[in-house]
Amino acid sequence: MGKLAVGVAVGVAVATCAVAGVVVGRRLRSRRKWRRVVGVLRELEESCETPVGRLKQVVDAMAVEMHAGLASEGGSKLKMLLTFVDRLPNGSEIGTYYALDLGGTNFRVLRVQLGGTRSSILSKDVKRQRIPQHLMTSTSEDLFDFITSKLKQFVEQEETVSEAAQSRTRELGFTFSFPVKQISIRSGFLIRWTKGFAIEDMIGCEIIERLQAALMKKGLDMCATVLVNDTVGILALGHYYDADTVAAVKIGTGTNACYMERADAIIKCQGLLTSSGAMVVNMEWGNFWSSHLPRTTYDIEMDMESPNPNDQGFEKMISGMYLGDIFRRVLLRMCEESDVFGPVSSKLLIPFVLEMPLMAAMHEDDTPDLKVVAAILREKLEIQDVPLKARRLVVKVCDVVTRRAARLAAAGIVGILKKIGRDGTGGITGSRSRSDAKMRRTVVAVEGSLYTSYMMFREYLHEALNEILGEDVAQHVVLRTTEDGSCVGAALLAALHSSSSSSSEGLHRRR
């Protein structure tokens, strides 16, 4: 009996040890896996770091590149395109004007009725349409036929326009948000398509001529008086409301900026004479690049797999089209490193599967158990039953990617301010002149869903602006959101350059 009891006891002890061993082993393994995913996060955090010192280097690089882009054609990755917009609306514009806005997935037709005093827009009517996919790669004739047929429908449906307005040729601004080489405010040639458009016969063509021919074909008595880029429209609208507005930034699907520059600083265009001594410059800042930008292996891989490697480097770190894909790449790497998220979901292998609004929703999930994160992982990425602590990690990844984007956008904005001597340091040369002693109020008009609809992005951007500028200077810098600037601004510029306004003499490049 005694022997049996000992035997049983020993058996139980051995079994217990074995079970304990398995449990401990499992725990160790799971701890190791957890450490590996946390390692991926730490590595991401380190390579995305944007301490204020680094941001200031980006500010300087932006200002220097702006200078280089203005000095000579091809002098920088920043194109610094001339717009021939030498003055901006001030609120006294009057009458009914139209705009066509082509620049992405949506196309807009707009009519505004301007009151003529104190920046009053009496009425605004906008119609949005999606550009049918096939037209993006068809012929220019097909594209312009489509645009002008929508414009014709819009005009035919209007009832509220006064007889006086109807009796004269309707004037319109054309917002065409692709890289264009302009030779006057109403004339420009397409350099290349972006954003999925590829209409070969349009490249190198004069854009307003094409539009005007299509208007005539449709029997529309309309005249396109200005050709602008979306950021120029945003600047125009910003300035219409607030005369201290000096620059405009768009952070949406892509990103770009423009600002008012002294004509004599545009060295690549010698002898440029403008009525105001200044001109709006379209930076095409999405293409900015500097070795000071904090780049990760995810950025490098995304760039290499993109249709435009080595281009739009700044845009690929900042804008809505790309952030979701950086996130996807990080999550994929975490899944490959460990099974904390279960088996690797095939969804994670699909480029651009996670759109920006969903990433923003996960980042801003304020439910205590991160329900939104769980739902998006489950429904969009087919990753089931993710434990809470792993969901927290997902939020952290969103945070790192978005924070870097917002802080870099802030550095870009300060770069512009530095170039025009509004950053409180005396500008690019760093020599503090007497006029800088008193900082002038400086307004930057901002549009784009990342800034307007993504609170965390906006907060990080503001925080970085304060850090870079210091509070004393930052209190003089106002970021102001405008709405539909790309098209309303084009209509305002059409009003300003209207044939019926007194000062619409054509400013153009001296040949």
Residues binding ligand ADP (CB under 6 A): 104, 252-253, 320-321, 356-357, 360, 448-450, 453-454
d(CA 31, CA 25): 10
Q: How far is the CB of 297 from ligand ADP (least distance, A)?
A: 23
Q: How far is the CB of 451 from ligand ADP (least distance, A)?
A: 8
Quick one: DSSP state of residue 447?
A: E
Burial class (CB in 10 A: 0-12, 13-18, 19+), 184: middle
- Please, which residue, 138 or 449, has the CB nearer to ligand ADP? 449
d(CA 176, CA 490): 10
- Please, which residue, 96 or 194, has the CB nearer to Mg ion? 194
- Please, which residue, 40 or 251, has the CB nearer to ligand ADP? 251
Quick one: DSSP state of residue 312?
A: S
d(CA 461, CA 413): 10
d(CA 477, CA 62): 18
Which does residue 286 bind out of ligand ADP, Mg ion, none, counting CB within 5 to 8 angstroms by kind? none
Q: How far is the CB of 183 from ligand ADP (least distance, A)?
A: 26
Which does residue 313 bind out of Mg ion, ligand ADP, none, counting CB within 5 to 8 angstroms by kind? none
Which does residue 357 bind out of ligand ADP, Mg ion, none, counting CB within 5 to 8 angstroms by kind? ligand ADP
Q: How far is the CB of 450 from ligand ADP (least distance, A)?
A: 5
Quick one: DSSP state of residue 349?
A: G
- Please, which residue, 104 or 424, has the CB nearer to Mg ion? 104
Which does residue 237 bind out of Mg ion, ligand ADP, none, counting CB within 5 to 8 angstroms by kind? none
Q: How far is the CB of 252 from Mg ion (least distance, A)?
A: 6
Q: How far is the CB of 270 from ligand ADP (least distance, A)?
A: 35
Main-chain dihedrals φ then ψ at residue 182, nearest 5 degrees: -90, 150
Written as six digits, the tokens of 451 are: 């800034």
Name, in order, each residue with C-beta under 8 angstroms of 243's C-beta and a sequence gap of 6 or more: 90
Which does residue 146 bind out of Mg ion, ligand ADP, none, counting CB within 5 to 8 angstroms by kind? none
Which does residue 449 bind out of ligand ADP, Mg ion, none, counting CB within 5 to 8 angstroms by kind? ligand ADP
Q: Which stretch binds Mg ion (CB under 5 A): 50-58, 96-104, 144-152, 199-207?
A: 96-104
Q: How far is the CB of 189 from Mg ion (least distance, A)?
A: 21
- Please, which residue, 233 or 252, has the CB nearer to ligand ADP? 252
- Please, which residue, 282 or 290, has the CB nearer to ligand ADP? 282
- One-letter amino acid for residue 293 of the chain: L
Q: Is 103 in the site for Mg ion (CB under 5 A)?
A: yes
Cα–Cα nearest to 104, from 210, 233, 194, 235? 194
Q: Is 104 in the site for Mg ion (CB under 5 A)?
A: yes
Q: How far is the CB of 14 from ligand ADP (least distance, A)?
A: 58
d(CA 336, CA 330): 10
Q: How far is CA 361 from CA 272, 356, 374, 451, 465, in A?
A: 48, 9, 11, 14, 24
Between 371-379 and 356-363, two packed helices, what is the crossing angle to 10 degrees? 150
Which does residue 360 bind out of Mg ion, ligand ADP, none, counting CB within 5 to 8 angstroms by kind? ligand ADP
Main-chain dihedrals φ then ψ at residue 369, nearest 5 degrees: -105, 25
Which does residue 266 bind out of Mg ion, ligand ADP, none, counting CB within 5 to 8 angstroms by kind? none
DSSP for 126-195, please give it. Answer: EEEEEPPGGGGGS-HHHHHHHHHHHHHHHHHH---S-HHHHHS-EEEEEEE-S-EEEEETTEEEE----T
Q: How far is the CB of 453 from ligand ADP (least distance, A)?
A: 4
- Please, which residue, 177 or 425, has the CB nearer to Mg ion? 177
Q: How far is the CB of 360 from ligand ADP (least distance, A)?
A: 3
Q: Please give the size of the binding site for Mg ion, defined by CB under 5 A.
A: 2
Closest-approach residue to Mg ion (CB): 104
- One-letter amino acid for residue 278 of the chain: A
- Please, which residue, 204 or 357, has the CB nearer to ligand ADP? 357
Alpha-carbon Rg of the chain, whole angstroms?
Answer: 28
Q: How far is CA 80 from CA 10, 88, 149, 466, in A?
A: 83, 18, 33, 27
d(CA 483, CA 491): 13
- Please, which residue, 143 or 251, has the CB nearer to ligand ADP? 251
Q: Which stretch binds Mg ion (CB under 5 A): 81-89, 103-111, 273-281, 400-408?
A: 103-111
Which does residue 234 bind out of ligand ADP, Mg ion, none, counting CB within 5 to 8 angstroms by kind? none
Q: How far is the CB of 28 from ligand ADP (least distance, A)?
A: 40
Which does residue 197 bind out of ligand ADP, Mg ion, none, counting CB within 5 to 8 angstroms by kind? none
Q: Which stretch binds Mg ion (CB under 5 A): 98-106, 189-197, 320-328, 444-452?
A: 98-106
Which does residue 138 bind out of ligand ADP, Mg ion, none, counting CB within 5 to 8 angstroms by kind? none
- Please, which residue, 288 or 451, has the CB nearer to ligand ADP? 451
- Please, which residue, 103 or 313, has the CB nearer to Mg ion? 103
Pairing of strands 94-102, 106-115: antiparallel
Q: Which residues of 95-131 are buried (b: 16+ CB within 10 A; e: fewer)?
A: bbbbbbbbbbeebbbbbbbbeeeebebeeeebeeeeb
- Under 8 Å between Cβ of 238 and 248: yes
Which does residue 454 bind out of Mg ion, ligand ADP, none, counting CB within 5 to 8 angstroms by kind? ligand ADP
Q: How far is the CB of 282 from ligand ADP (least distance, A)?
A: 16
Which residues make up the interface to Mg ion (CB under 5 A)? 103-104
